[in-house]
Chain A
Amino acid sequence: MTAPVSIAGTGMAGVPVALTPLTRKDFTAPNEVRWCPGCGDYPVLAAFQSVMPDLGIRNENLVVVSGIGCSSRFPYYVESYGFHSIHGRAPAIAAGVAMSRPDVSVFVITGDGDALSIGGNHLIHAIRRNINMTILLFNNRIYGLTKGQYSPTSETGKVTKSSPQGSVDNPFNPVSLALGAGGTFVARTVDANRAHLTATLKAAAAHRGTSLVEIYQNCVIFNDGAYDPLKAADGMIKLVHGEPVTFGADNSMGVVRGADGTLTVAPVAEIGQENLLVHDAHAEDPQLAFALSQLTDQNHLTTAPIGIFRDVERPVYDDLARAQIATFDDDAARDQAVSALLKGHDTWEL
């Protein structure tokens, strides 16, 4: 009998697979979920719990690490090993888990404040190193747990308790940031689109290296409707690898690449079907992915591409780190190696 193989492929290579199929219920922890009714975190949790059985992962080989914020309560609701850590530090803590345990699959749950403000440094360095973990960045464009201050993804001019005259901050584009940091898997999805969300989570888990998934997530209390403009027919530009980039009613709008490399949005009728940009998520060169990410109207969010911007292979930090380290068949061999280290090369006998 051959061992079951995960559909996650290389992303979960080395992680043992469940011998009997599990269900969403197996990944539901007994704790009462305490997000506000209608919170966008619920559908993400549901999608996550339904994807895990599909990946074939065992509960005990799943580690979920989070920072601080509403979404960071996530690990309490997943039946796995979970660590609800410190504001901004989840990617650093997860790095220690991923490096030392090739047999576990590591997910990081974070938010826009957690990942992009207090934890910005850890996020870019995890992505730069390409540590094998999947980072789900819940972007609700507001600080929810602290009751409604503007966040690093809030639009300029946002009026909140800490910005009564309007925020003067310029917002981050998380996808552009991740691509700039050398991201090998960078995607964006939406809480309300279950099918897209599920497919994106699966693809992220299948990628070996750091997968960054920005999830547009609605906060019903402090920033309700932040993504409503995207509900317009021409709001979201769906990116599908190998297909022409079109969107809007009847896919009447399209993206074309100019001679100087810049991307332009125009009616397909004007561009001509044959001139449409064909999305290539596997392109080694990140320029196209970055240019697509810049089609996001970061302030007003009337337009935003969703989908997988980039999915390429690059050596993985934790694999490389482990490859440098000696392993031992038994305790005696390890004792011997330790003794040799302690003695060094310049001893004398008394």
Chain B
Amino acid sequence: MTQVSTIDHVVIRFSGDSGDGMQLTGDRFTQDTAVAGNDFVTLPNYPAEIRAPAGTVAGVSSFQLHFAEYDVHTPGDHPDVLVAMNPAALKANIAELPAGGIIIVDTADFTPRALSKVGYDTNPLEDGSLEAYQVHAFDLTAAATAAVAPFGLSRKDAARTKNMYALGLLNWMYSRPIEGTIAFLNKKFAKKPEIRDANIASLTAGYNFGETSEAIAFRYEIAPAPAKTGTYRQITGNRAVAYGLVAGANRAGLPLYLGAYPITPASEVLHYLSDAKSAGVMTFQAEDEIAAVGAALGASFAGCLGATSTSGPGLALKSETLGLAVISELPLVVIDVQRGGPSTGLPTKTEQSDLHIALFGRHGESPMPVIAAQSPADCFAATFEACKVAVEYRTPVLVLTDGYLGNGAEPWRVPEMSELPAIDTNLTTEVEGEYLPYARDEKLARAWAIPGTPGLTHRTGGLEKAPGSGAVSYDPSDHEEMVLTRAAKVAGVVRDVPDLIVDDPSGEAKVLVLGWGSTFGPIQAAVRIVRGSGRKLATAHLRWINPLPANLGEVLAAYDRVIVPEMNLGQLAMLLRATYLINVESYTKVRGLPLRQSELADDLNAIIDEEAAK
């Protein structure tokens, strides 16, 4: 008799060859989990090479999912359950599975040849090396092949349904319904009935195997997480960025124009917006990164909301055009999905090392507002805010996300358009007397007239301008005034930056941990651990990095120690020290991976204990 246990969270990692469909399997399990009402965060991990040699460790692709009955912030440091579809997947992931963890393994490929290919001298399923784990070894490939025998597929196609068999088994183990995935398969393979039927049969067979075989003695249930009512979907950071642009342009009443050039891990922003023509979005796959941002700026000049999406190497190429956007004072939204650098660096891995290029990577006095998203769903809100500031202040705005946020997913409550704030374009359509394109409103935003508007023809460009008229001017005092005005305008965005809220439940913490961007999840998880041990710890998280919240100096001064974790070598810490003359302490990791919550918690505990001992 199968025993059903109630647990509050679990981390599952699906792993296999990059051709085994692990991303799809993980994605479907996530969707089935979402429908069950759990909160979740996911993290796909795949090789930089599109098709690394089959059966090798380099070719292993994985998808990790953390779901719980409470709000989840990270995909989890370590899996509790490892699904391994071949020896390479086992080899690549076993070191991260803690003792006692569950392994579900497909034995089909555990041949001497495949084993030696990944460096196993003996079969780990037989040599006792996995004794510390709960191993469930089945020939999933053979079981799937047998289940789909009636559909007359080739041997290869039949074997390919093994991922659905594994998915069915996992759905049974964690009490997830499979109806959603059946509906998905019906739609996906509508034109290939035999593939559709085979996948559904394999999925159902996997589920029934768990139900009837008693091969696995435990089954788990996880209660739904509490959440605000509404319509939800799962969303990755890259999709949320794309939709933030669509919503921002819509609320501004401007057409959205995206110029982009393919680059990992940002290409999906281009893909999703190219697939948004039904919502009136125009995209341009340009000849290079420079043309991509150039066309976007040209579209803004013409009266669109211009946007461009890229990653570090592309941002470097766009620098000169961003300077033109700054001096011509046109709206532009720039998305940087950060990856490990410098140069080609780690294209598929995550890092926060573009903060300084975002803030300072242009020649001349060239300030730009910068906002950093803190979770996949927050990529929508951060991008929307960026659109609002770009349009209302006539300035390029940079949105920093990263590979971890871009590829990670979590539930997102889909907003109605009417819930989102209006964005005021305040276009100049007629003037009394002379039109002064660089006359300013109370926010210092300039008077923006677009082509097609009679009587307001004017010239702008990269040369310095006289205040007001915008006429070319090399006058020293005009230059100084314009430099100071552009700086004051960007600094003035602070009126739209909420004060930083500190989470310090006891009000007695001496240590503040301050993060920015995608470290939000791991920091929140670490704080939960630290507080669970009875220690007192305050935390706060920055979204706007330029301008910084008005109360930040006060917040920093209120704590004995301020710890700033970053996935770089201390770029925010340098900014805070320079700005506030406060000795914040930098905590840095540059492994191309998100911070580990347990490691961070241990280190924060040590700091708190050290402080208490003083």
Residues of A bordering B, CB below 8 Å = 29, 31, 58-63, 65-66, 68, 75-76, 79-86, 89, 92-97, 99-101, 103-104, 121-122, 125, 321-322, 324-328, 331, 334-335, 337-350
- A96-B298, A326-B277 in contact; A335/B250 too (CB < 8 A)? yes
Q: How far is the CA of A342 from the CA of B300 in the complex (A)?
A: 24
Most buried by B among A89, A322, A335, A343: A89
Interface string of B230-260 (1 = CB under 8 A from A): 1111100000000100110010010101010
The 4 A-B residue pairs with the shortest CB-CB distance in the complex, in nearest-first order: A96-B298, A84-B461, A92-B294, A96-B299
Docked-complex contact A99 and B284, CB < 8 angstroms? yes
Task: Specify which chain A residues have a CB less than 8 angstroms from the CB of B295 in the assembled complex.
Answer: 92-93, 95-96, 99
**Residue B444 interfacial (CB < 8 Å):** no
Would you call A347 and B232 a contact (CB within 8 A)? yes
Q: Using C-beta atoms within 8 Å of the partner chain, give the interface range for chain B.
A: 35 or more
Chain A residues with Cβ under 8 A from B581's Cβ?
none
Interface positions of B (Cβ within 8 A of A): 31, 34-35, 37, 180, 184, 187, 227-234, 243, 246-247, 250, 253, 255, 257, 259, 276-282, 284, 286-288, 290-291, 294-304, 306, 320-321, 324, 328, 413-418, 450-463, 471-472
Chain A residues within an 8 Å CB radius of B415:
342
- One of A62, A325, A345, A350 near B280 (C-beta < 8 A): A325
| A162 to B358 CA separation, bound complex (whole angstroms) | 35
Which residues from chain A contact B296 at a C-beta distance below 8 Å? 96
Assuming the contacts A92-B291, A101-B303, asked whether A342 and B246 have C-beta atoms less than 8 A apart, the reply is yes
Centre residue among B232, B233, B288, B301 by max chain A CB count within 10 A:
B301
User: Would you give the shortest CB distance from A316 to chain B, in whole angstroms?
Assistant: 14
Q: A86-B321, A95-B298, A96-B295 are in contact. Are A331 and B253 (CB under 8 A)?
A: yes
B471's partner among A31, A103, A337 (CB-CB below 8 A) is A31
A93 in complex: contacting residue of B35, B276, B294, B458, CB < 8 Å: B294
B459–A29 contact, CB under 8 A? yes
- Number of A-B pairs whose CB atoms are under 8 Å? 206
C-alpha gap A122/B259 in the complex (Å): 14
- Decide if B294 touches A96 in the complex (CB within 8 Å): yes
Q: A95-B284, A99-B282 are contacts. A86–B459 as well, Cβ < 8 Å?
A: no
Most buried by B among A58, A60, A84, A96: A96
Whether B278 contacts A340 by the Cβ 8 Å rule is: yes
19 additional A-B residue pairs with CB within 8 Å, beyond A76-B459, A327-B280, A342-B243: A60-B452, A68-B462, A81-B301, A81-B451, A92-B298, A93-B298, A95-B298, A96-B298, A96-B301, A99-B284, A104-B451, A121-B291, A321-B284, A326-B280, A328-B280, A342-B415, A343-B231, A343-B233, A350-B230
Q: Which residues of B contact A335 (CB under 8 A)?
A: 250, 417-418
For the complex, give the distance between the alpha carbons of A78 and B300 in Å.
Answer: 21
Q: Are B453 and A60 in contact (CB under 8 A)?
A: yes
Which residue from chain B places its CB closest to the CB of A327 in the assembled complex? B280
Q: State which of B227, B282, B288, B459 has its C-beta within 8 Å of the C-beta of A100.
A: B282
Q: Are A350 and B452 in contact (CB under 8 A)?
A: no
Task: Pick from A29, A99, A335, A344 the residue with the most CB of B within 10 Å.
Answer: A99
Kindly list chain B residues whose C-beta atoms are within 8 Å of the C-beta of A63.
301-302, 451
Contact of B455 among A60, A61, A85, A96 (CB under 8 A): A60
Q: How far is the CA of A79 from the CA of B321 in the complex (A)?
A: 25
In the complex with contacts A29-B459, A100-B299, A347-B414, A337-B279 CB distance below 8 A:
yes
Contacts of A89 in B (CB 8 A): 290-291, 294, 321
Cα(A149)–Cα(B481), bound, Å: 35
**Which residues of chain B have C-beta atoms less than 8 A from A62's C-beta?**
457
CA distance A84 to B276 in the complex (A): 32
A103: min CB distance to chain B, Å: 6
Report which of A58, A84, A93, A350 forms a contact with B37, defined as CB distance below 8 A. Answer: A350
Min CB distance, A165 to chain B, in Å? 32
User: What residues of chain B lie closer than 8 Å to A97, measured between beta carbons?
Assistant: 298-299, 301-302, 451
The residue of chain B having its C-beta at the shortest distance from the C-beta of A68 within the complex is B462
CB <8 Å contact, A83 and B37: no
In the complex, the answer to whether B302 meets A104 with C-beta atoms within 8 Å is: yes
Judging by beta carbons under 8 Å apart, are A75 and B278 in contact?
no
CA distance A341 to B302 in the complex (A): 25
Instruction: Decide: A104 and B463 in contact? CB cutoff 8 A.
Output: no
Roughly how many angstroms separate A337 CA and B247 CA in the complex, as a whole number? 11
A-B contact pairs, 14 of them (CB 8 A): A31-B471, A58-B454, A68-B462, A83-B301, A84-B462, A85-B294, A97-B302, A125-B291, A324-B277, A337-B280, A338-B247, A339-B416, A342-B243, A342-B414
Report the separation of the CA atoms of residues A121 and B294 in the bound assembly, to the nearest whole angstrom.
Answer: 13
User: A350 contacts B233, CB within 8 Å?
Assistant: no
Residues of A within 8 A of B35 (CB): 348
Complex Cα spacing A206 to B252, Å: 35
Distance in angstroms from A25 CB to nearest chain B CB is 14
B250 pairs with A338, CB closer than 8 A:
yes
Q: Say yes or no: B290 contacts A92, CB within 8 Å.
A: yes
Return chain A residues, CB-CB under 8 Å to B457. Answer: 59-60, 62, 79-82
B461 partner, pick from A85, A94, A347, beta carbons under 8 A: A85
Residues on A with C-beta less than 8 A from B286 are 92, 95, 125
State the Cβ distance, A235 to closest chain B Cβ, in Å. Answer: 36
Residues in chain B near residue A79, CB distance under 8 A: 457
Q: How far is the CA of A103 from the CA of B451 in the complex (A)?
A: 9
**Residue among B286, B450, B458, B459 with most chain A CB within 10 A:** B459
Chain B residues with CB below 8 A from A340, complex form: 278-279
> A350 near B232 (CB under 8 angstroms)?
yes
Question: Which chain B positions have C-beta within 8 A of A328?
Answer: 280
CB distance from A309 to the nearest CB of B (A): 24
Question: Complex formed: what's the CA distance from A100 to B290 in Å?
Answer: 18
A59 to B246, CA, bound (A): 31
- Give the one of B234, B257, B287 with max A CB within 10 A: B287
Q: In the docked arrangement, what's the CA distance between A259 and B423, Å?
A: 67
Q: Which residues of A are found within 8 Å of B463, using beta-carbon distances?
A: 84
Shortest CB distance A128–B (Å): 9
| Bound: A345/B234 CA distance, A | 11
User: Which residues in A have their C-beta under 8 angstroms from that of B453?
Assistant: 60
Q: How far is the CB of A177 from chain B (nearest CB, A)?
A: 15
The smallest beta-carbon distance between A174 and chain B, in angstroms, is 18
Chain A residue at smallest Cβ distance from B228: A350
Complex contact B291–A94 (CB within 8 A): no
Q: Is the Cβ of B462 less than 8 Å from the Cβ of A100?
A: no
Minimum Cβ distance to chain B for residue A81 (Å)? 4
Q: Which residues of B contact A350 (CB under 8 A)?
A: 37, 227-230, 232, 413
CB of B268 to closest CB in A, whole Å: 14
Question: Which one, A83, A96, A327, A339, contacts B284 given CB within 8 A?
Answer: A96
Shortest CB-to-CB span from A71 to chain B, Å, is: 14
